[in-house]
Amino acid sequence: MDTKILLVEDDTMLNEGIAYALRKKEYLVYSAKNIEEASGYMNQPVSLVILDINLPDGDGRMFLKHIRQSNTVPVLLLTARNTEADMLQGFDAGCDDYVTKPFSMAVLLRRIEVLLKRAENTDSRFYYSGALAYDFDGKQLRKDGQEVKLTATEIRLLEAFLAHRNQVLTREQLLAMVWDTYENYVDEKTLNVNVRRLRGKIEDNPQEPDHIRTVFGIGYKWSDRI
């Protein structure tokens, strides 16, 4: 699986230089020059964000705070501001590391490697797709940064979907995954009701769901939103 890095830097030459160095390391790079462009890329999973503070349409730290409402992706701030106060403000906003300009490309690449390795053992416990963020350990779902209250059954159903995302699951498979070890018997009507309730909590339009899609005559399929 490709490691996707979002680079947000408005200096064209610096943006292109960093992107070139990252691609030589075989990273997949999404390049943005302002917050608006970067926001579009954040609608899909990325492994790391390199974020400048001074951007044409706003302060990168405010964008970082917005990211942290629903996402724990590693963020490296890249900026000419090098005072202790500036660095502390960056860490307070939620950054994982801080590199000041001018910098060594070798050092930047090494810090990126460290952040990615550190995240390897933790990111698998989180799921992100569009406005949704789910913490498997904390059993907590957020949508647009706001906590979504789920019942125990809805949590089991959601985790069954996320464990087999982009796969078609039959109704029989879902019944076995969600209920068999908890209750003696439930029918497909119970499954359908819980799917409908879960859709109502996570989908923008439950009648035309982005995530929990019906596969007629078979069951359901969770689709990642890109």
Q: Bridge partners of 8?
A: 32, 51
Cα dist from 214 to 72, 175, 195, 200, 211, whole Å: 30, 15, 10, 14, 10
The answer to whether residue 126 is domain-embedded is no
CA gap 24, 27 in Å, rounded: 7
Q: Tell me which of 96, 121, 146 is where a domain ends.
A: 121
> Which pLDDT band, with edges at 50, 70 and 90, does 186 fall under?
low
Range(s) of the domain holding residue 178: 131-222
135 and 103 share one domain: no
76 in the same domain as 151:
no
On whether both 77 and 95 belong to a single domain, the answer is: yes
**And the tokens for 96?**
């994982």
- Taking CA atoms, 62 is separated from 6, 66, 93, in Å, by 17, 6, 8
119 has a pLDDT exceeding 80 = no
108 with 68, same domain: the answer is yes
Write down the pLDDT at residue 118: 76
Place of tokens 């439930």: 186
Whether 108 shows a pLDDT value over 90: the answer reads yes
pLDDT band, residue 27 (cuts 50/70/90): very high
Q: Indicate if 80 and 164 belong to the same structural domain.
A: no
- 114 and 25 co-located in one domain: yes
As a 3-state breakdown, the chain gives helix, strand, coil percent values, each rounded to 5, of 40, 25, 35
Could you tell me if 92 and 112 lie in one domain?
A: yes
Statement to judge: residues 43 and 65 lie in one domain: yes
Average pLDDT over residues 128-155: 87
Using N-to-C axis directions, what is the helix angle for 188-202 and 152-163, rounded to 10°? 80
H-helix segments, the chain: 12-24, 35-41, 60-67, 84-93, 105-120, 152-163, 171-178, 188-202
Domain count for the chain = 2
Assess whether 24 and 61 both reside in one domain: yes
Q: What is the CATH number of the domain that holds 11?
A: 3.40.50.2300
d(CA 12, CA 32): 10
pLDDT in tens, 37-85: 999 998 888 899 999 999 999 999 999 988 887 777 889 999 887 788 8
Residue holding tokens 């069954």?
Answer: 160
pLDDT band at 223; cut points 50, 70, 90: confident
Q: Last residue of a domain, which of 121, 151, 179?
A: 121
How far is the C-alpha of 158 from the C-alpha of 177, rounded, in Å? 11
The region of weakest confidence among 71-75, 162-166, 179-183 is 179-183
Q: Is the pLDDT of residue 144 over 90?
A: no
Which residues on neighbouring strands pair with residue 168, listed in sequence order? 221
Radius of gyration of the chain (CA): 20
State the pLDDT at residue 180. Answer: 62
Count other C-beta atoms under 10 Å from residue 82's C-beta. 11
The verdict on 135 and 116 lying in the same domain is no
pLDDT at 125 over 90: no
Same domain, yes or no, for 40 and 94? yes
